[in-house]
Amino acid sequence: MTTCLPAGSGKLHYRVRDFKGQGCRKASWVSSVTFSGSIHKELSWSAGASKFLQIQRCNFSQCPINENSKSLRTVTVSSLRDDSTKFFDFAVIGSGVAGLRYALEVAKHGSVAVITKAEPHESNTNYAQGGVSAVLCPSDSVESHVQDTIVAGAYLCDEETVRVVCTEGPERIRELIAMGASFDHGEDGNLHLAREGGHSHHRIVHAADMTGREIERALLEAVLKDPNIFMFEHHLAIDLLTCQDGSDTVCLGVDTLNTETQEVIRFISKVTLLASGGAGQIYPTTTNPPVATGDGIAMAHRAQAVISNMEFVQFHPTALADEGLPAKPTKARENAFLITEAVRGDGGILYNLDMERFMPLYDERAELAPRDVVARGIDDQLKKRNEKYVLLDISHKPREKILSHFPNIAAECLKYGLDITRRPIPVVPAAHYMCGGVRAGLQGETNVRGLYVAGEVACTGLHGANRLASNSLLEALVFARRAVQPSIDHMKSSSLDSSASNWWSRPVVPVSLESNVINKILTMTGEIRKEVQSIMWKYVGIVRSTTRLEAAEQKICDLEAKWEEYLFQLGWEPSMVGLEACEMRNFFCCAKLVVSSALARHESRGLHYTIDFPHLEEILVLPEQLKAVNVAADGGSRSCGFPAIYNFGDSNSDTGAISAAISEVPPPNGESFFGHPSGRFSDGRLIIDFIAEKLQLPYLSPYLDSLGTNFRHGANFATGGSSIRPGGYSPFHLGIQLSQFIRFKSHSIALYKQLSSNRRLPRPEDFSKALYTFDIGQNDLAYGIQHGTVEEVRASIPAILSQLSQAISQLYKEGSRFFWVHNTGPHGCLPYSVIYDQSKPVNLDQSGCVKPLNEVAQEFNRQLKDSVSRLRSELPLAVFTYVDVYSAKYALISNAKSQGFVDPFDFCCGSYYGYHIDCGKKAIVNGTVYGNPCKNPSRHISWDGIHYSQAANLLIAERILNGSFSNPPVSVTEACRLSKNA
Residues acting as catalytic residues: 371
Contacts of residue 493, Cβ cutoff 8 Å, sequence gap at least 6: none
Q: What angle do helix axes 579-600 and 546-569 make, rounded to 10 degrees?
A: 160
Closest CA to 627 of 471, 465, 770: 465
CB 635 within 8 A of CB 978: no
> At 114, which helix (H) or strand (E)?
strand 112-115
Distances (CA, A) of 115 to 168, 321, 536, 620: 27, 34, 29, 42
Phi, psi angles (nearest 5°) of residue 28: -110, 145
Short-list 978, 724, 737, CA closest to 867: 724
Contact status, residue 17 vs residue 27, Cβ threshold 8 Å: yes
- The residues near 527 (Cβ < 8 Å, ≥ 6 apart) are none
Q: Give the total residue count for the chain.
A: 982
Say how far apart CA 56 and CA 47 lie, in whole Å: 23
Q: Are the CB atoms for 180 and 218 separated by under 8 Å?
A: yes
Cα 572–chain centre separation: 30
CB atoms inside a 10 Å sphere around CB 33: 16
DSSP bridge partners of 716: 647
How large is the C-alpha radius of gyration of the chain? 30
> Are the beta carbons of 688 and 714 closer than 8 angstroms?
no
Among 283, 247, 183, residue whose Cα is nearest residue 868: 247
DSSP string, 477-499: HHHHHHTHHHHHHHHHH----TT
d(CA 881, CA 542): 35
Query: Which residues, listed in sequence order, are joined to residue 934 by a DSSP beta bridge?
Result: none
Q: What single DSSP character describes residue 39?
A: E
Q: What angle do CA 690, 696, 702 make, to 5 degrees?
A: 65
Amino acid, single-letter form, for residue 45: W
The Cα 287–Cα 456 span in angstroms is 14
One-letter identity of residue 960: I
Q: Where are the alpha helices (DSSP H) in 180-308?
A: 211-225, 295-302
* CB of 236 closer than 8 Å to CB of 256: yes
400: left (phi over 0), alpha (psi -120 to 50) or beta: alpha
Q: How far apart are CA 481 and CA 460, in angstroms?
A: 14
φ/ψ bin of 428: left (φ > 0), alpha (ψ from -120 to 50), beta (otherwise)? beta
Task: Give dist(CA 757, CA 767) in Å, integer.
Answer: 16
Q: CA angle at residue 237 from 232 to 242, to 5 degrees?
A: 115
Q: Phi/psi of residue 809, each to 5°?
A: -65, -35
CA-CA-CA-CA torsion sign (731, 737, 740, 744) = positive
DSSP of 816-834:
--EEEEE----GGGSHHHH
What's 893-957 look like in SS3? HHCCHHHCCCCCCCECCCCCCCCCCCCCCCEEECCEEECCCCCCHHHCCECCCCCECHHHHHHHH
Cα 132-134-136 angle, rounded to 5 deg: 125
428 closest CA partner among 362, 476, 382: 382
Q: How far apart are CA 695 and CA 712, in angstroms?
A: 14
